[in-house]
Amino acid sequence: MDYTAWPSFAAVLDRLCTMPRSATGRPYSNVELGQAIGVTHSYVAQLRKGLREPTLATVLAVAEALDVHPAFFVGGRRDRTADLPGRPFAVKLNRLFTLVHPPGQGEMTPEAVAAAVRRRAEESGDTGWTIAPNTIRDLRSGKNSNPKLKHVVALAMAFGAEPAYFFDEELAAQVEEQLETHRVMDSLGVNEVILRATATSPSSEVRTKALLALVRALRPEVEHEEVRRLLERPDHEPPVLDDAGPEVIDDEAAD
């Protein structure tokens, strides 16, 4: 994922401010936008020039005033959705800590996340995207509920997620489902996933999706609906996939 390819917050904001509004037919002035979000016109001017780093609250307020989705400022969707503003930042951040672990290890420490951010920043050639471990702790606990946008992006970088994850509830739900599926599959192990499926704690929906993904990867010739039918049998017995192909249920015999 190339973070350096995104337009900056300042570039997106400046472009939006030069576009005519549907209500008035003319662009927002710095004074008008400042009044709409409760800041001075000089602060808006600095944001548009990239001289000030916006906070999460500023991004949300500007997005509402300009009638765009806050995710639009970090490469996400433009149209606003009914679920805004969504869950608190700390809730989503803690979900990433829970779901994203290094192979064979437990939850990452704030120091490990800060180091991951630093490595990714160095790889991209922009060493400005860094964050301190104590800042991460404050964000996780909710002590700091208004991070700078650069810290939002930095944390997304550390966990390999799109920054829009922190703004877009629909995207966040998709990301968390995918991460949960991967977590389940990792915990089960490829060779034992089918035999151990009924002994795991995740929901049956997550477990079924994990098994479907694994079976399709191991046996691509198996039809999707046939696999789902086998996995959702009332007796919850795991399907048996031998060299002859998927187990076939004899509907007439069952009657």
Residue 18 structure tokens: 């030069």
Model confidence over 194-222: pLDDT tens digits? 445 445 555 566 666 666 666 655 555 55
Letter string b/e over residues 161-177, b meaning 16 or more CB atoms within 10 A of that residue's CB:
bbbbbbbbbebbeebbe
* Listed residue (172, 19, 153) closest to 83, CA to CA: 172
Q: Which residues are within 8 A (CB) of 209 and not within 5 positions of it... i.e. 6 or more apart?
A: 177, 181
Sign of CA dihedral 48, 50, 54, 59: positive
Per-residue tokens: 122: 């160095």
Residue 183 pLDDT > 60, yes or no?
A: yes
∠62-83-70 over CA atoms, to 5°? 25
pLDDT of 88 > 90? The answer is yes
Domains and CATH numbers, the chain: 3-74 (1.10.260.40), 89-168 (1.10.260.40), 189-254 (no CATH)
* Cβ partners under 8 Å of residue 202, min gap 6: 180, 184, 210
**210 vs 119, higher pLDDT:** 119
* E runs forming strands in the chain: 241-242, 245-246
**Residue 135 in this model has a pLDDT that exceeds 90:** yes
Say what the pLDDT of residue 188 is: 56
Residue length, the chain?
Answer: 255
Q: Are 112 and 106 in contact (CB under 8 A)?
A: no
